[in-house]
Structure 1
Amino acid sequence: MFDEPKVMFWPVGTGDSTTVAVQNGIVLQVDLRDLHSAGDADDDHAALVDKLVENLPTVNGKPYLSTFALTHPDKDHIQGFHDLLDRVTIGEIWFTPRVFIENDQDLCDDAVAFKEEAERRVQETINSGGDVGAGDRVRLIGYDALLKEDHFVGFPEDRLTVPGNSITEIDGVDYEGDFNAFIHAPFAEETDGDRNNTSLCMQVVLGDNPSKGGVLLFGDIAYPRLRKIIDTTKEAGNEEYLAWKVFLAPHHCSKSAMYQKEGDKEVLKQDILDDLAEYQVDGGVIIASSEKIPLQNASGENPPHAKAKKRYEEIADGGFLCTHEDGEDGEPLVFDVSDGALDAPEVAQADAARKLADAVDDARGSDSPPSEQVGYG
């Protein structure tokens, strides 16, 4: 399963679990939701820890995961971590400082387990002057001022990545040319407040050319931070790091990515959709990591949101997919890599072709073209 470069989006309910295979056996896991660890899953939910244990390479008699990256410590992004830590050796972890600000009573048990492991690795790194091996490695993602805080005094600068820079190293090995994770956020002022706003956001590319389009993983951010990421990246002249072949819909296809409250009204922010459409590459695919998306939502209902799906379908030339609607039961949506670019799975190609055919049929049924952009727009 992890023998060649690919990106996998797992059906884990309304939550995130993304696996990036960089090379044979070199795996980056971004977030984790394993309902099976709590006995809460149906058969169509992936038993992800079991899948990792079965498919990861074995080192010193134990399954070995190169790197685990946490976008933010909400339960739907960290559930099952304690089980993973017990059963798998994790070479390196990436995290933002948000996990150190929370009181333990505000975190789920798995988030507490992650926090304790992060704290252990930070202290081990400080005590050794940065000379740590597999199982103790850690990368802090944030700003230089963090190193002046009590938690991080003495933490080596080369284990800190400031947003606006790339990571090409995984678990002590540099994979430049084959892997690039450009860090977009969190921003310097967003080390506390709403946990979603502090999400680790990045573009991951399996190749040497970000302009070919990678996967955008933006955690649970809403419109204001998405707007800021795009504006900041444009101003820095780094627009190639906005190019996407796959866009994981923030916050599990929440309408908060493109709708914003203005007074008593919920206003569509078309600017963000226009920008996302501009930066997609060769028929981009948008993924909702969620349960089946309803035809409509009641007021105040949690994501996934039907309104967001509709907006995304308007801009995703390569199709819109949901992990619990478009894959086989318990299996991930898989994007392989060809010549440094992600390839859409057959189900996405079929979805895009279907939408194009529907648009043609609609047009034939009237004297006017389709009223909405559909398919290869």
Structure 2
Amino acid sequence: MMPRVKFYPVGNGDCSQIVLANKKRLLFDFCHRRNAEDEDDPRIDLHATLSDELRAAGRKHFEVVALTHLDDDHIAKSTEFFYLEHAKKYQDEDRKKINQLWVPAAAILEKGLTGEAAVWRSEARHRLKNGQGIRVFSRPSNLKDWLESEGLSLTDREHLITDAGQRVPGFDLGKDGVEFFVHSPFAKHADDQTILRNESAIILHATFEVDNRKTRYLIVGDSTWEILEEIVDITRNKKRDVRLQWDIYNVPHHCSYLALGPKKGKEQTKPVVNVQWLLDQCQKGAIAVSSSGPIPSTDTNDPPHRQAASTYRKTITDNNGHKFVVTMEYPNVKKPKILEVEIGGRGAVLKTLSVVGVSSLVRSSTPRAGHL
């Protein structure tokens, strides 16, 4: 089995899954908002779908569940699905277990939380205090203060913390066929009294290797152009440009113009220089996925923004057979399906659905010489 990345049609929200050749499963975010009483709601029944997938694979757990940040469109109804260790009320037999929870430091430190965000903060704190089943991204001074308030030191839990500029422990190309490099958050993003979730969210660069071919996936979440601009500056200054090359791009913030630049624009959003450079790092045949509702034909306040979509389409059209795909439009607006990208010796290949519903693999590119 080749590794693959699956994007779920959850509406304006995020949920994707990496399934590795060794059968490990890494779930990124969770958004279940389908109205069960509305037969015409095109959003996927995420609870049922993920349960069915695990059952078919003979598994009851995810190796990793990564919550890039605690906004509702990234955690909606997740506390009804997962087995949580901090309280018995979340420990029904049918709940799915999490071997390792990945969260930004902000998920532990943010104050004034309610609802599911507060539940996940409790779970993350519980795991960090117990010293297992968690990985925290970044080490702001506030985290040190919090640990000390719990009778712990930063040194006691240092093995559970990963900073920007490091690789995530526990995954490597030899054993798993994938490695993860951390771009963000930076410690400063959670040091302020007021935590901005999008700015302090997890951003990762995954590198897969199959048949000596490396395929790269940039996992961006709900980032802003300011954060991306800073990431590009730091990465290029450290001569790590390869960590920003991409064959698969998780289009930020449901195709918001604010992930490209400060002004929406009339017909297209003009990216700031560094973000344009980042878009230009797309490799031949790359696939950009917007986890969002259909792209509107008129102006809207909330994403997706048609101007941003136009910019992504232009970049893709101008570069060697790229694809820009929207989860709630794939393969059509009325009945969107799971968007699946298989990763192999030919790079990233979008699994398409024929008219009669039979799955097939269609090349999105031809092999390029000298691939890394």
TM-score range, shorter chain: 0.7 to 0.9
Whether the 8 Å contact between 1:57 and 1:64 is mirrored in structure 2 is no
- Alignment pair present for 1:97 and 2:96: no
Whether the 8 Å contact between 1:337 and 1:343 is mirrored in structure 2 is yes
Q: Aligned residue for 1:218?
A: 220
Whether the 8 Å contact between 2:173 and 2:208 is mirrored in structure 1 is no
Alignment of 1:123-272 (within 5 A): 123-125=129-131, 132=132, 137-143=133-139, 145=141, 148-151=144-147, 153-154=152-153, 155-169=156-170, 176=175, 178-191=177-190, 192=192, 193-207=195-209, 212-261=214-263, 268-272=270-274
Give 1:101 deviation, angstroms: 2.8
Structure 1: distance between partners of 2:104 and 2:343: 28
CA deviation profile, 1:124-159 (whole Å, cap 9, x unmatched): 11xxxxxx4xxxx10111037466222363443221
Structure 1: stretches of 5+ with no match in the other structure: 126-131, 354-377
Whether the 8 Å contact between 1:243 and 1:279 is mirrored in structure 2 is yes
Structure 2: distance between partners of 1:189 and 1:144: 6
Decide whether aligned partners of structure 1 residues 12 and 151 sit closer, same or farther in structure 2, where only a CA change above 3 A counts: same
Q: Which of 55, 74, 77 pairs up with 2:74?
A: 77
Secondary structure of 1:260's aligned partner: coil
Give 1:43 deviation, angstroms: 4.2
Give 1:45 deviation, angstroms: 1.1
Structure 2: stretches of 5+ with no match in the other structure: 84-94, 354-359, 366-372
Q: Aligned residue for 1:20?
A: 18
* Length-normalised TM-score, structure 1: 0.78
Give 1:269 deviation, angstroms: 3.0
Structure 1: distance between partners of 2:63 and 2:37: 27
- Alignment pair present for 1:308 and 2:308: yes
Q: Aligned residue for 2:356?
A: none
Secondary structure of 1:336's aligned partner: strand
CA deviation profile, 1:61-92 (whole Å, cap 9, x unmatched): 97111110011100000112112214101111
Give 1:52 deviation, angstroms: 1.7
Decide whether aligned partners of structure 1 residues 284 and 54 sit closer, same or farther in structure 2, where only a CA change above 3 A counts: same
Give 1:270 deviation, angstroms: 4.7
Whether the 8 Å contact between 2:16 and 2:29 is mirrored in structure 1 is yes
Give 1:93 deviation, angstroms: 0.3
CA deviation profile, 1:293-337 (whole Å, cap 9, x unmatched): 101214xx1000000000000112412110011236352110001
Tell me the C-alpha RMSD between the 2 structures: 3.2
CA deviation profile, 1:142-191 (whole Å, cap 9, x unmatched): 03746622236344322111111112515xx9965611111100122111
Structure 1: distance between partners of 2:271 and 2:2: 39
- Alignment pair present for 1:33 and 2:34: no
Give 1:20 deviation, angstroms: 0.5
Q: Aligned residue for 2:65?
A: 68
Select the structure that is richer in helix.
1
Whether the 8 Å contact between 1:213 and 1:244 is mirrored in structure 2 is yes
Structure 2: distance between partners of 1:331 and 1:267: 28
Secondary structure of 2:295's aligned partner: coil
| Residue correspondences, number | 331
Please tell me the residue identity of whatever aligns with 1:315: T
Decide whether aligned partners of structure 1 residues 118 and 58 sit closer, same or farther in structure 2, where only a CA change above 3 A counts: farther
Q: Aligned residue for 2:122?
A: 116
Structure 2: distance between partners of 1:311 and 1:146: 38
Secondary structure of 2:328's aligned partner: coil
Q: Aligned residue for 1:48?
A: 46
- Alignment pair present for 1:320 and 2:324: yes
Please tell me the residue identity of whatever aligns with 2:330: D
* Length-normalised TM-score, structure 2: 0.79
